Every structure is written in C-alpha cells, then in structure tokens.
Amino acid sequence: MNTSNNALTEAVYYILLSVLKPMHGYGIMQQISALSGGRLNISAGTLYGALSSLLEKGWIEQVATPCDSRKKEYHITAEGRRLLVQEIARLQELVRNGETILSNN
C-alpha cells in the first residue's frame, strides 16, 4: 500500500511506464497515446517539463546515445521503478474498494 499519499499524475505514471525500456521523447508521446487508447495525448512542452522534473527527482535518467544522435533517450531508475510499483498497488486498492462498494449497493 502507498503510505506516502503521493499519487502520481496520470502523465507521470504513463511516462514512467514508457521508459521501462530506453525511449526518446517522441516515442514516449506515442507510447502514452497507445497505452491510453488515444485518451491521453500530451504535448511536447508538457512532456519535456515532466522529463526535466523526473530527472531532478532521480526517477529517470538520460541514457548515453551516440555522439551524432540528437535524440535524448530516457530510462527509469530503481527509485522510479519503486514508485511505479507503489502507484500500481495504490491504484489496485482504489479499484478493489470501488468494486466492493459497488457490489454491495
């Protein structure tokens, strides 16, 4: 259970899921759209602001790429993975509670 009461935003949740394998910004945006069935489409400005914040928090890291590559790739860190697992458990608890209450009414 998530005892820190720090729920991830939907965008951050999907970014962390997307960078379980190294991925560049445009790929992350495409992955988020695909994972959410097109429901969530984030702009480049929103994405790069979030990536900057996640880098500062140590939840993701920039992956070394060839010198001639202009694309920056990002990958989740151990701390980011821990928070993602914690968030999934929190979301599962929400769903369980909702299903329990709905089935009793």
Q: Is residue 16 part of a domain?
A: yes
> Which pLDDT score, from 0 to 100, does residue 64 have?
83
Q: Is residue 4 part of a domain?
A: no
CATH number of 54's domain: 1.10.10.10
Q: Is 20 inside a domain boundary?
A: yes
Whether the per-residue pLDDT at 66 is higher than 90: the answer is no
Instruction: State how far the Cα of 56 lies from the Cα of 68, in Å rounded to an integer.
Output: 25
Report the domain count for the chain. 1
pLDDT at residue 4, as a whole number: 55
Rg (CA), the chain: 16
Residue 68 confidence (pLDDT)? 63
Residue 71: which domain range?
Answer: 10-103
User: What's the distance, Cα to Cα, between the start and end of the chain in Å?
Assistant: 25
pLDDT at residue 67 above 80? no
How many other β-carbons are positioned within 10 Å of the β-carbon of residue 49?
13
Q: What 3 state SS string does 26-38 have?
A: HHHHHHHHHHCCC
Is residue 1 situated within a structural domain? no
What is the pLDDT of the chain when averaged over all its residues?
A: 92
